[in-house]
Amino acid sequence: MAEKQKTMEQAGRPAKNGTGGAALALEVKNLSIAFGGLKAVDGFHIQIEKEQLYGLIGPNGAGKTTVFNLLTGVYRPDTGRILLDGDNITGRRTIEINQAGIARTFQNIRLFKELSVLDNVKAGLHNHCRYSTAEGIFRLPAYFKAEKAMDERAMELLKVFDLDQECNYKASNLPYGKQRKLEIARAMATDPKLLLLDEPTAGMNPNETAELMETIRFVREHFHMTILLIEHDMKLVSGICERLTVLNFGQVLTEGETSEVLNDRRVITAYLGE
Amino acid sequence: MSFLSYFISGVSLGAVYAIIALGYTMVYGIARMLNFAHGDVIMVGGFAIFTVVSTMGLPPLLGILAGIVVCTVLGVAIERVAYRPLRGASSLAVLITAIGVSYLLQNVALLIFGSNSRQFTSVVTLPNLVLADGKLTISSITIVTIVTCLVIMVALTAFINKTKIGQAMLAVSEDRGAASLMGIDVNKTIAVTFAIGSALAAVAGALLCSAYPSLTPYTGSMPGIKAFTAAVFGGIGSIPGALIGGIVLGVIENLSKAYISSQLSDAIVFAVLILVLLVRPTGILGRQIPEKV
Amino acid sequence: MTKKKIRRQNAVTYGIVILFWAVVQLMDRTGNLSSLFKGLLVPLCMYAILAVSLNLTVGVLGELSLGHAGFMCLGAFSGAFFTKCMDAAIPSVGLRFFLALILGAAVAGFFGFLIGIPVLRLKGDYLAIVTLAFGEIIKNLLNVLYVGRDSSGFHFSIKDTLSLGMDETGEVIIKGAQGITGTPRAATFTIGILLLLLTLFIVLNLMDSRTGRAIMAIRDNRIAAESIGIPVTRYKLTAFSISAALAGAAGVLYAHSLSTLQATSNNFGYNKSILILVFVVLGGLGNMRGSIIAAVLLTALPELLRGLNDYRMLIYAVVLIVMTIFNSSPRAIEMRSVWMEKLRRRGQGKKEAA
């Protein structure tokens, strides 16, 4: 166990001290988008502190994934501002937003199916260990140096997610629960400031869910990561999230401490109906 | 006047492309496959008509009928033997099989009829239309082609919207899985689509060979590609798109042959296609389906 | 697959090519090589290079291109043009050929890049038809292109030789549909094999590198690739341009194996692109060794069947259909796995009995 801890610290980013709990990792104001007249997200706002584990919940079709797509630049918002660590990233492209520090997973798993587990993570390291195409083709020293660094870094990450045994499997051959973990590992490889998880436990059995809950908590602690997650499993939400925002019909219904929000009448009504 | 005459013959050529494009577009819409052999079915139709009319000396109408029967049977047979086993396989594999079928048809025709071109007797025996005191002559085949094309378009649209099997075709093209859950026989629907497309190919063959009377085993290949281009141009999967794409393509081809360069006409047609697709990535009437994240 | 395994697989692929070269050399020395087969050797290399390079676009990048012959055509003409122009300046045929190869690859790669910028936004069958269209345009334009040189420099025309307007020292280099004549036939089997090895080296090393990983990530899931910061357009262009450049080099090889180079439908039409695609698909997407084997077998097959004369292309077509169905049909795949299972069980049974 002690050894595992050590590798994790190496793999993680150095903790950011100083500003403490008050600094905002993500601040979103008045975010809206409409698709052909339908307001999918309307005036969304959120404030997430550094190293917070934040939950975004709401009934099906409330616009949760659309919020993620807006945050990651898949859609361009009609109105609103998105500040990541104080930087305005509104309207940037997906690639730039990842480089600015947001990484995500997807509701329907999107792995690089034909690549090995290791290569999936190495693809995530793309912008962190660089060498040119020509250096790669002609096997110049930069290739060997960067590949070695990538292999080491990727294996460290895989160990954290308990995937190191399967590093040479084809990604599509992993069992479902491990595929979800690999997606998180790949996102973590891009060294983000903020991690977005879109229904990380969807389709998992209770055992897998419990295990993943541990992993998420673990990631937060050891990488000092800020995490925003969409989830339907209330047990998971109440177990690990510190704060929640509830979305209903594209609008923020309420926000606050997890226990408060989950006992709010309006939230119960939104989920269960009148 | 000469412009008008080039234009009209362009429309006529385009009408042939449109009829062929229907075959591509329907098959693509329903089976999601690029039937590369479609052009060669036209050639088979041409040879069937040639055999009945020129070799056996029977009336042209009987020839066309024979052509339609041969092509329909052929189209259904190709679908059954070569394409159906690949249902659910990658679209590339289906494409390669279609290419194989195309080679097969060409080479069977080569064995039977040889590589020398045959003189095709026009199936249209009506007199030409002379307008404006002889300044403008429109050949009868031109008129017949345009009229036939319009009739086919109207009939096909009615068939798809009004009949049960037509509705089944729409359903299968929308969502094959859901259609089969609703009790639609997907295999039968696809077979019917191939039958219709191939019958149309026979008609196209008759019209094409009447207008351009030299017939070889490779006759169908280039018009096939052009018609496919027309289908993409108009928005593949769309019947009015095939009509618009075909006519536009035919007119551009004929006008550039007349006024720019006959050697460059194909290049011009393809350049226009590229321009259209760059502005509208799914063709003029094609639907854009964004990928869901 | 582990790194070691990939390297071992790659070594086997290089080995097969070298072995093929050695066997042919041996047969040639001992006089066992028919003249028919001798004539096939350079085309075999050419098709293998074309198949490997197209596999980079179709198998590794995952985009369907039907315009590969167009890039080959560009390479062939620019390479032959260079060789013709430089015959006074560079007397060594070998050096000229070498430079022509580089130039041809560069020209084709550059056009691949230019065409790729607008075109790679399209998807699937739309991309296929647009690349086909580009290939046809290139072929058609080269068919009407006249280029001559006289004391005052180069002259161009798309009409005829006369409108080049050259003085009496003028020499027509590209003569419209008649193409380029009198290119030295410098392409040999050994050069072809070397070029094939170089192509393999480039493509296999590319696949096993940061760039290759990015390209395959885009193929497997574009949206996920963007989400981890991989610039999709740039890597699509990289793969497409390299693929085009290698096709261009194959074209130069081809141009230097003929005395007359013409841009006909047979040489550079869409049917040629399709033929190359057939090699790629039957050899296996992303499988370079398969591409080479398919290219060699399917090029040699119709020639070896020449005795059957009229039936050879017919057999070829049937082989193509049957092989594809056997390879890809869901039912055939299921049947194969059942057989494999039976075989395995029988093997185990025997072991236990022993």
Q: Please write the tens of the pLDDT for every residue from A41-98.
A: 999 999 999 999 999 999 888 999 999 999 999 999 999 999 999 999 999 999 999 9
The enclosing H or E element of C25 equals helix C3-29
Instruction: Residue window 241-300, chain C: list those with CB within 8 Å of chain B.
Output: 270-271, 274, 277-278, 281-282, 285
Angle at A137 between CA A132 and CA A142, to 5 degrees: 50
**Residue B255 maps to a domain:** no
% of chain C exceeding 70 in pLDDT: 97
| Distance between CA atoms of residues B280 and B268, nearest Å | 18
Model confidence over B199-245: pLDDT tens digits? Answer: 999 999 999 998 888 899 999 988 998 998 899 888 888 889 999 99
Burial of B163 (0-12, 13-18, 19+ CB in 10 A): exposed
Q: What is the pLDDT of residue A7?
A: 44
Chain C: list its partners (3+ Cβ pairs within 8 Å): A, B
Sign (positive/negative) of CA torsion B286, B287, B288, B293? negative
Strand order in the sheet with A24-35: A38-49, A24-35, A79-84, A87-88
At A268, the pLDDT band (50, 70, 90 cuts) reads: confident
Partner C contacted by A202 (CB < 8 A): no
Helix/strand/coil for B280? coil
Model confidence over C76-120: pLDDT tens digits? Answer: 999 999 999 888 888 888 899 999 999 999 999 999 999 999 888
| Distance between CA atoms of residues B58 and C202, nearest Å | 62
Mean pLDDT over the full length of chain C: 90
Work out the number of other CB atoms within 10 angstroms of the CB of residue B179.
20
Is it the case that residue B131 has pLDDT exceeding 80? Answer: no
- Beta strand pairing call for A87-88 and A251-257: unpaired
Q: What is the pLDDT of residue A274?
A: 61
More confident residue, C340 or C44: C44
Name the token pair of C35: 């003249």
Helix/strand/coil for B118? strand
| Distance between CA atoms of residues A27 and A46, nearest Å | 6
Low-confidence winner among B194-203, C157-166, C239-248, C260-269 (lowest mean pLDDT): C157-166
- C118 vs B contacts (CB less than 8 Å): 274, 278
| Distance between CA atoms of residues C19 and C26, nearest Å | 10
CB pairs under 8 A between A and C: 98
Name the token pair of C227: 């989400």
Closest residue by Cα to residue A73 from A41, A42, A103: A103
The enclosing H or E element of C156 equals strand C153-157
Q: What is the pLDDT of residue B116?
A: 87
* Phi, psi values for residue A96, rounded to 5°: -65, -35
Mean pLDDT over the full length of chain B: 89
What's the whole-number mean pLDDT along residues C297-316? 78
At B1, the pLDDT band (50, 70, 90 cuts) reads: low
Place of tokens 């093997």: C347
Q: Do C229 and A95 touch (CB under 8 A)?
A: yes
| Distance between CA atoms of residues C58 and C282, nearest Å | 12
Q: What is the pLDDT of residue A16?
A: 43
Is it the case that residue B37 has pLDDT exceeding 70? Answer: yes
Contact B92, C281 (CB under 8 A): yes
The long-range contacts involving A155-159, CB below 8 angstroms and separated by at least 24 positions, are A155/A118, A156/A7, A156/A8, A156/A10, A156/A11, A157/A11, A157/A121, A157/A185, A157/A188, A157/A189, A158/A117, A158/A118, A158/A121, A158/A185, A159/A4, A159/A7, A159/A8, A159/A11
More confident residue, C100 or C305: C100
Contact C134, B264 (CB under 8 A): no
- DSSP track, C200-244: HHHHHHHHTSHHHHHHHHHHH-HHHHHHTT--HHHHHHHHHHHHH
ipTM of the complex: 0.89
User: Which of the residues C64, C219, C321 would you substitute to probe the B interface, choosing the one with the greatest number of B C-beta atoms within 10 Å?
Assistant: C321
| Distance between CA atoms of residues A25 and A227, nearest Å | 10
| Distance between CA atoms of residues C69 and C77, nearest Å | 12
Beta strands in C220-298 (DSSP E): 260-261
What's the whole-number mean pLDDT along residues C166-184? 85
| Distance between CA atoms of residues B131 and A244, nearest Å | 80
Contact B48, B41 (CB under 8 A): no
Partner A contacted by B293 (CB < 8 A): yes
Beta bridge partners of A31: A44
More confident residue, C211 or C175: C211
Give, as one character, the DSSP assignment of residue B51. I
Q: Do C229 and A111 touch (CB under 8 A)?
A: no
Nearest to C213 among A98, A113, A122 (CB): A122
What's the whole-number mean pLDDT along residues A268-274? 76
Chain A: list its partners (3+ Cβ pairs within 8 Å): B, C
| Distance between CA atoms of residues A114 and C21, nearest Å | 33
Is it the case that residue C58 has pLDDT exceeding 70? Answer: yes
Beta bridge partners of B102: none
> Largest Cα–Cα distance of chain B, in whole Å?
65
Work out the number of other CB atoms within 10 angstroms of the CB of residue A273.
7
Closest residue by Cα to residue C109 from C255, C254, C251: C251
At C341, the pLDDT band (50, 70, 90 cuts) reads: confident
The chain A residues in contact with chain B (CB within 8 A) are: 65, 69, 74, 106
> Largest Cα–Cα distance of chain C, in whole Å?
90
Distance of CA C80 to the CA centre of its chain: 17
| Distance between CA atoms of residues B226 and B236, nearest Å | 13
Closest residue by Cα to residue B272 from B286, B290, B289, B255: B255
Is it the case that residue B150 has pLDDT exceeding 90? Answer: yes
Residue of C nearest to B90 (CA): C328
| Distance between CA atoms of residues C175 and B235, nearest Å | 39
Q: What is the pLDDT of residue A11?
A: 44
Name the token pair of A145: 């140096």
Model confidence over C257-266: pLDDT tens digits? Answer: 998 999 988 8
**Nearest-10 Cα torsion for B101, B103, B106, B109:** -70
- Count of H-run helices and E-run strands, chain C: 14, 5
> Taking the domains of chain C in order of start, what are their residue ranges?
3-71+95-125+186-257+266-353
Partner B contacted by C18 (CB < 8 A): no
Contact C221, A111 (CB under 8 A): yes
- Count of H-run helices and E-run strands, chain B: 11, 4
What's the whole-number mean pLDDT along residues B251-266? 90
At B291, the pLDDT band (50, 70, 90 cuts) reads: low
Determine the distance in angstroms separating the CA of C277 from the nearest CA of chain B, rounded to an integer.
Answer: 8
- A106 vs B contacts (CB less than 8 Å): 293
% of chain B exceeding 90 in pLDDT: 54
Angle at C119 between CA C117 and CA C122, to 5 degrees: 130
**Nearest-10 Cα torsion for A174, A179, A183, A184:** -120
Q: What is the pLDDT of residue A22?
A: 55
| Distance between CA atoms of residues B198 and B71, nearest Å | 5
Q: What is the pLDDT of residue A101?
A: 95
* Phi, psi values for residue B214, rounded to 5°: -95, 130
Residue of A nearest to C286 (CA): A114
CB pairs under 8 A between B and C: 130
What's the whole-number mean pLDDT along residues A197-223? 90
- Kindly calculate the radius of gyration of chain C based on its CA atoms and give it in whole angstroms: 22
Determine the distance in angstroms separating the CA of B86 from the nearest CA of chain C, rounded to an integer.
Answer: 5
Q: What is the pLDDT of residue C95?
A: 92
Q: What is the pLDDT of residue B277?
A: 86
Q: What is the pLDDT of residue A4?
A: 43
Place of tokens 């039968």: B188
Is it the case that residue A142 has pLDDT exceeding 50? Answer: yes
Residue of B nearest to C177 (CA): B263
Helix/strand/coil for A244? strand
Task: Return the amino acid letter for A37.
Answer: G
Q: Do A133 and C216 touch (CB under 8 A)?
A: no
- C123 vs B contacts (CB less than 8 Å): 281
Model confidence over A7-19: pLDDT tens digits? Answer: 444 444 444 444 4
Low-confidence winner among A219-233, B176-190, C167-181, C202-216 (lowest mean pLDDT): C167-181
Domain A2-9+23-101+192-272, what fold? Rossmann fold (3.40.50)
What's the whole-number mean pLDDT along residues A226-240? 90
User: Which of the residues C127, C282, C310, C325 would you substitute to probe the B interface, choosing the one with the greatest number of B C-beta atoms within 10 Å?
Assistant: C325
Query: Between the CA of residue A137 and those of A95, A148, C311, what are the distances in Å?
Result: 25, 16, 44
Partner C contacted by A146 (CB < 8 A): yes
Angle at B246 between CA B126 and CA B154, to 5 degrees: 65
Angle between helices B221-234 and B38-50 (to 10 degrees): 130
Model confidence over C115-143: pLDDT tens digits? Answer: 999 888 887 778 888 899 999 999 999 99
Nearest to B270 among C119, C136, C332 (CB): C136
Domain count, chain B: 1
> Taking the domains of chain A in order of start, what are their residue ranges?
2-9+23-101+192-272, 117-179
How long a stretch of residues is chain A? 274
Work out the number of other CB atoms within 10 angstroms of the CB of residue A23.
13
At C36, the pLDDT band (50, 70, 90 cuts) reads: confident
* Phi, psi values for residue A113, rounded to 5°: -60, -40
Q: Do C324 and B34 touch (CB under 8 A)?
A: no
Determine the distance in angstroms separating the CA of B293 from the nearest CA of chain A, rounded to an integer.
Answer: 8
Low-confidence winner among B62-71, B175-184, C310-319 (lowest mean pLDDT): C310-319
Q: What is the pLDDT of residue C87?
A: 84
Beta bridge partners of A54: A228, A243
Determine the distance in angstroms separating the CA of A263 from the nearest CA of chain C, rounded to an integer.
Answer: 35
Q: Which residues contact C145 (CB under 8 A, 6 or more apart)?
A: C156, C157, C158, C174, C176
- Count of H-run helices and E-run strands, chain A: 11, 10
Q: Which residues contact A233 (CB under 8 A, 6 or more apart)?
A: A201, A209
At C21, the pLDDT band (50, 70, 90 cuts) reads: very high
Helix/strand/coil for A33? strand
Q: Do C209 and A104 touch (CB under 8 A)?
A: no
Partner A contacted by C214 (CB < 8 A): yes
% of chain C exceeding 90 in pLDDT: 55
Contact C291, C207 (CB under 8 A): no
Closest residue by Cα to residue A131 from C41, B27, C251, C208: C208
